[in-house]
Structure 1
Amino acid sequence: MSDVATVLKTAGQTYAEQAGIKLRDQPRPLWQLLVLANLLSARINSDVAVAAARELFAAGGDTPKGMARLSWQDRVDALGRGHYVRYDESTSSRLGECAELILGEYGGDMRKVAEEAGRDPKRLRQALQRFKGIGETGADIFCREAQEVWPWLRPYFDKRALSGAGRVHLPRDPGKLARLTKPDDLAHLAAALVRISRDTKLAHKADT
């Protein structure tokens, strides 16, 4: 069995951290996480999705109001600078619609989405899928990362993370995995396992 400390050291950066998001239980970073989950949902390299998120935030899309203020072309241009070119036009439209939804129904605050879902992981996943571009994969991405600041989501290991656990001979059971590290490290462990599931060399490094 692989050592969890080695797994965390090898690949334990969350995708939010990579995108420069200082995740807190606050409206702005939670919105940024929703944007990142939307971008990561597409069939595109995760590094490209992260780069695109950074460009959108730098352009002013780091809050729902900021994203809504950006023109469709502004968003397309920001995505292009991040090399997110395959899905740039459709993604620009989706992000605009996401901003309008959260502003119109939740006052720009993702915490209200969680409250409406009764802080129930299953109901939250369903609520997240109301946002254009967020399907089951995007909901999993959001919840995996959000468990860092929303303890009621813990432990959150989706199929992709559990697949990574199998590659490095760790338990493929969320409860057993959670017992191998501190609660505050669960988001990092989930991110590490997702990275490992996608990268054979990383998996080998983490399993030695």
Structure 2
Amino acid sequence: MTPRGGQRGIARTLLERHGKTFAEEAGIRLKDTPQPLYQTLVLAALLSARIRASVAVAAARALFDAGLRTPRRMTGATWQQRVDALGEGGYRRYDERTATQLGDGARLLLDRYGGDLRRMRDAADGTADALRAALQEVPGIGPAGAGIFLREVQAVWTGLAPCLDPKALQGAERLGLPGEAGKLARLVGKDESAAFASALVRAALDASVVDDVLRAADA
């Protein structure tokens, strides 16, 4: 049975109760400037591994607390320093491989784009498909990581909105919402797209989020 508020009511309840981007959770003040965009890419790489989202967020915070907030600082750190920061955040299963990928990825961004992801966006003419392809040339960023990054940065790269990756669409299905990005986007404001997408991902990852939203929407 559909809650009395219908699909729009479910979407609004989801946003109000779980509408926090993963970048925000990781302490990233996302703006269209090089440092927070790079931090979001690091977070996307961590989130794309088969590890709990809470651990990936904690590891990102640990890396940033260790001062590794820019490609130059990431390449300037030793491999062991990167491993230690990841371990501090509880990211131990993939720490050694990820430490290598973070260093290699930062070097590629410096060499190819001067460490500025806006240059990657401009080279791709801001199109999502071209950006996905360019992002996947960065070590540690596969299809999932590219999707996560675009999902998060649509808050500042608004031309990408609505950008919903497969995990967000899975969350929509569990909530009884449309499975198409265009239809989902019409349930919320355009400036809410990133928060809505993150909330949908939380619904996909945690059944208790679905129960909480549906119960509250029907209250």
TM over 0.5: yes
Unaligned runs of 5+ in 1: none
Q: What is residue 157 of structure 2 aligned with on the other side? A: 150
TM-score (norm 1): 0.98
SS in 2 for 1:60: coil
Q: What is residue 79 of structure 1 aligned with on the other side? A: 86
Name the CA distance, whole Å, in 2 between partners of 1:146 and 1:42.
Answer: 19
Q: What is residue 114 of structure 1 aligned with on the other side? A: 121
Q: Is the 8 A contact 1:154 1:186 kept in 2?
A: yes
Q: What is residue 3 of structure 2 aligned with on the other side? A: none
Name the CA distance, whole Å, in 1 between partners of 2:209 and 2:188.
Answer: 20
Q: What is residue 57 of structure 1 aligned with on the other side? A: 64
Matched, 1:134 2:104: no
Letter in structure 2 aligned against 1:90 = R
Matched, 1:102 2:96: no
Using the TM superposition, give the Cα deviation of residue 11 of structure 1 relative to its aligned residue in structure 2, in angstroms.
1.3
Using the TM superposition, give the Cα deviation of residue 198 of structure 1 relative to its aligned residue in structure 2, in angstroms.
1.0
Percent identical pairs in the alignment equals: 51
**Rg larger in structure:** 2
Letter in structure 2 aligned against 1:138 = G
Which of structure 1's runs of 4+ aligned residues deviate more than 6 A? none
Using the TM superposition, give the Cα deviation of residue 31 of structure 1 relative to its aligned residue in structure 2, in angstroms.
0.2
Q: CA RMSD in A?
A: 0.8
Name the CA distance, whole Å, in 1 between partners of 2:36 and 2:42.
Answer: 10
Using the TM superposition, give the Cα deviation of residue 9 of structure 1 relative to its aligned residue in structure 2, in angstroms.
1.5
Letter in structure 2 aligned against 1:112 = R
Using the TM superposition, give the Cα deviation of residue 170 of structure 1 relative to its aligned residue in structure 2, in angstroms.
1.2
Letter in structure 2 aligned against 1:26 = T
Name the CA distance, whole Å, in 1 between partners of 2:141 and 2:214.
Answer: 32
Name the CA distance, whole Å, in 2 between partners of 1:53 and 1:78.
Answer: 9
Q: CA offsets, 1:163-190, max 9 Å, x none?
A: 1011111111111111111111000000
Name the CA distance, whole Å, in 2 between partners of 1:98 and 1:107.
Answer: 12
Using the TM superposition, give the Cα deviation of residue 162 of structure 1 relative to its aligned residue in structure 2, in angstroms.
0.8
TM-score (norm 2): 0.93
